[in-house]
């Protein structure tokens, strides 16, 4: 990581420093020609007031980004609010009924067995929150968001409870947890509070309940506890969100006074009073940025590096090393380009031209000058890595390249 920290005397100062760093990061990402999004993110272990991430778009990225084209929402899934999908109101509440569901433990198995829409099911997951078991209810096709869970409890540690704990609080084998008669605190996702006549585990091995309604259990808390899903309602504008994958290549944090307090970092203000310093923290992962750029610019011939980032901007390839004129002109062009401040590599290996071309494309040199038979007529070829080659006169070659940069 490339790290930076700012130290200010108050929050207004931090806001100014943060904006300067943020703008500099944006300029860096733009100059790298990265395709990226800036997203709101969880402050996580760093803590503090605000966290924003620079996420390079890439299908194999490990982060899920929630984007809305209508309002420009751009958020890490970890912190993106999810709006409940409202179930249609049903007039009659069914009776709570215990049904045998042998060998059906996973939600898919129970859905198959009972032939009901997965949206009529509620999953109950037992979490270990700072050492205390808590049962969390979400609709059958939803996932619990552990960051939201951690924030709700102000907890340090949130993880799925171990099998022993699950068996203890449900009094049943794994796979049959439900809200009715559960032996620990029970909380539910807001969406579940809008559901009627649903199916849950029965806290009894081999059984589920149908006709479950809120009269049958007491939830200690109702809150947004689930991950938003691709195609869900946008929490900002009511449009539809879509997902993208991202590689986090940079982040900026407003840390506030968290670490100043921890380290007792203070200064004397104009009234001779000790005050805590306001901190910001900023990081870029250069190796991650390179990896993301390679992902975004790869083709069947290798990497097409952006021209400001390529190891060399121009490659000069000599077609025939036996031709003294070709060798001489290639060397002359090499020296002139170098003198003009262009980063240039001369391929004077005893290889076939095809091999040299392939290697220069593989490495990702953005432009190639080919010095071949044309030198007899005073010509060389100039070719971008992607695109057609043009003939230029030997005299103009350096100027033509300079124009490209
Ligand atoms: Zn929106």
Q: What is the pLDDT of residue 208?
A: 96
User: Is 88 contained in some domain?
Assistant: no
Which bin fits 104, alpha (ψ -120 to 50), beta or left (φ > 0)? beta
Interval between CA 242 and ligand 1 midpoint (Å): 10
**Average pLDDT of the segment spanning 344-356:** 95
Q: What is the pLDDT of residues 283-330, one digit of tens each?
A: 999 999 999 999 999 999 999 998 888 999 999 999 999 999 999 999
Quick check: 44 pLDDT over 80? Answer: no
Q: Is residue 332 located within the same domain as residue 253? A: no
Q: Is residue 107 located within the same domain as residue 212? A: yes
Confidence of residue 198 (pLDDT cuts 50, 70, 90): very high
Q: Is residue 343 located within the same domain as residue 243? A: no
Q: What is the pLDDT of residue 307?
A: 86
Interval between CA 39 and ligand 1 midpoint (Å): 14
CA angle 361, 362, 367 (to 5 degrees): 25
Interval between CA 227 and ligand 1 midpoint (Å): 16
Q: Which of 208, 184, 248, 207 is nearest to 53 (CA)?
A: 248
Q: What is the dihedral of CA 87, 92, 98, 103, to 10 degrees?
A: -30
Interval between CA 42 and ligand 1 midpoint (Å): 20
- What would the DSSP string read from start to end of 82-149? -PPPPPPP-SSPPPPEEEE-TT--SHHHHHHHHT--GGGBEEEEEEEETTEEEEEEEETT--B-HHHH
* Alpha carbon distances (Å) from 90 to 67, 94, 122, 361: 33, 10, 17, 64
| C-beta pairs of 113-118 under 8 Å, 24+ apart in sequence | 114/199, 114/208, 114/210, 116/199
Round to whole Å and give the CA distance between 140 and 222: 17
CATH of the domain at 69: 3.30.930.10
Domain final residue pick, 194, 223, 252: 223
Q: What is the pLDDT of residue 121?
A: 96
Round to whole Å and give the CA distance between 295 and 281: 27
- How many structural domains are present in the chain? 3
User: Is 388 contained in some domain?
Assistant: yes
Q: What is the pLDDT of residue 125?
A: 97
Q: Is residue 240 located within the same domain as residue 218? A: no
Domain final residue pick, 223, 241, 276: 223
User: Is 91 contained in some domain?
Assistant: no
Round to whole Å and give the CA distance between 188 and 60: 32
**Average pLDDT of the segment spanning 207-222:** 96
User: Is 162 contained in some domain?
Assistant: yes
Interval between CA 214 and ligand 1 midpoint (Å): 31
Confidence of residue 45 (pLDDT cuts 50, 70, 90): low
Question: What value does the mean pLDDT of the chain take?
Answer: 94
Interval between CA 331 and ligand 1 midpoint (Å): 58
Domain, as residue range, for 185: 97-223
Q: What is the pLDDT of residue 47?
A: 73
Q: Is residue 39 located within the same domain as residue 150? A: no
Interval between CA 322 and ligand 1 midpoint (Å): 65
Q: Is residue 219 located within the same domain as residue 235? A: no
Interval between CA 229 and ligand 1 midpoint (Å): 14
In sequence order, the 6+-apart residues with CB closer than 8 A to the CB of 114 are 99, 101, 199, 208, 210
Q: Is residue 218 located within the same domain as residue 235? A: no
Contact between residue 43 and residue 312 where contact means Cβ atoms under 8 Å apart: no
Interval between CA 289 and ligand 1 midpoint (Å): 28
Q: Is residue 76 located within the same domain as residue 60? A: yes
User: Is 133 contained in some domain?
Assistant: yes
CATH of the domain at 388: 3.40.50.800
Interval between CA 233 and ligand 1 midpoint (Å): 8
Quick check: 105 pLDDT over 90? Answer: no
Q: Which of 31, 75, 52, 51 is nearest to 293 (CA)?
A: 31
User: Is 89 contained in some domain?
Assistant: no
Interval between CA 308 and ligand 1 midpoint (Å): 35
**Average pLDDT of the segment spanning 4-12:** 96
Q: Which of 309, 147, 334, 290 is nearest to 224 (CA)?
A: 147
Q: What is the pLDDT of residue 104?
A: 84
CATH of the domain at 105: 3.90.960.10
Interval between CA 235 and ligand 1 midpoint (Å): 7
Interval between CA 186 and ligand 1 midpoint (Å): 32
User: Is 193 contained in some domain?
Assistant: yes
Q: What is the pLDDT of residue 4?
A: 96
Interval between CA 87 and ligand 1 midpoint (Å): 22
Q: What is the pLDDT of residue 321?
A: 95
Domain final residue pick, 165, 190, 223: 223
Quick check: 14 pLDDT over 90? Answer: yes
User: Is 252 contained in some domain?
Assistant: yes
Give the number of other Cβ atoms within 10 Å of residue 19's Cβ.
Answer: 12
Round to whole Å and give the CA distance between 78 and 53: 12
**Average pLDDT of the segment spanning 211-232:** 97
Q: What is the pTM of this model?
A: 0.78
Distance of CA 405 to the CA centre of its chain: 32
Q: What is the pLDDT of residues 141-166, one digit of tens each?
A: 999 999 999 999 999 999 999 999 99
Q: Is residue 219 located within the same domain as residue 105? A: yes
Q: What is the pLDDT of residues 47-104, one digit of tens each?
A: 778 899 999 999 999 999 999 999 999 999 999 999 999 888 878 999 999 999 988 8
Q: Is residue 210 located within the same domain as residue 236? A: no
Quick check: 187 pLDDT over 80? Answer: yes
Contact between residue 333 and residue 305 where contact means Cβ atoms under 8 Å apart: no
Q: Is residue 217 located within the same domain as residue 239? A: no
Q: Is residue 180 located within the same domain as residue 211? A: yes
């Amino acid at each position: 990581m490339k790290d930076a920290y700012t130290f200010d005397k108050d929050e207004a100062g931090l806001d100014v420093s943060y904006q300067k760093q943020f703008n500099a990061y944006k300029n860096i990402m733009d100059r790298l020609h990265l395709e990226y999004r800036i997203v709101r993110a969880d402050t996580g272990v760093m803590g503090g007031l605000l966290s924003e991430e620079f996420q390079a778009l890439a299908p194999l990225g490990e982060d899920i980004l929630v984007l809305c084209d209508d309002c420009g929402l751009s958020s890490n899934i970890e912190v993106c609010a999810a709006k409940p999908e409202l179930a249609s109101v049903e007039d009659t509440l069914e009776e709570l009924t215990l049904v045998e569901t042998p060998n059906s433990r996973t939600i898919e198995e129970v859905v198959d067995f009972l032939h009901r829409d997965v949206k009529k099911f509620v999953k109950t997951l037992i979490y270990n929150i700072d050492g205390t078991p808590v049962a969390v209810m979400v609709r059958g096709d939803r996932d619990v968001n552990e960051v939201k869970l951690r924030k709700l409890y102000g907890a340090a540690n949130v993880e799925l409870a171990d099998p022993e704990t699950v068996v203890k609080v449900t009094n049943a084998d794994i796979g049959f947890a439900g809200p009715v008669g559960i032996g620990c605190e029970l909380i539910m996702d807001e969406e579940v509070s809008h559901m009627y006549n649903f199916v849950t585990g029965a806290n009894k091995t081999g059984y589920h309940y149908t006709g479950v309604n809120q009269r049958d259990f007491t939830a200690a808390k109702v809150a947004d506890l689930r991950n938003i899903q691709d195609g869900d309602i946008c929490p900002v504008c009511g449009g539809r969100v879509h997902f993208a994958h991202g590689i986090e290549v940079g982040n900026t944090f407003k840390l506030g006074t968290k670490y100043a307090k921890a380290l007792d970092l203070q200064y004397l203000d104009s009234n001779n009073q000790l005050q805590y310093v306001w901190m910001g923290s900023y990081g870029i992962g250069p190796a991650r940025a390179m990896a993301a750029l390679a992902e975004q610019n790869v083709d069947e011939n290798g990497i097409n590096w952006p021209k400001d980032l390529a190891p060399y901007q121009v490659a000069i390839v000599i077609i025939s090393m036996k031709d003294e004129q070709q060798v001489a002109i290639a060397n002359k062009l090499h020296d002139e380009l170098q003198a003009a401040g262009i980063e240039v590599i001369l391929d004077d290996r005893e290889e076939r031209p095809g091999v040299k071309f392939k290697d220069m494309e593989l490495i990702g040199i953005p432009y190639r000058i080919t010095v071949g038979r044309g030198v007899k007529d005073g010509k060389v070829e100039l070719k971008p890595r992607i695109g057609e080659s043009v003939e230029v006169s030997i005299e103009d070659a350096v100027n033509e390249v300079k124009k490209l940069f």
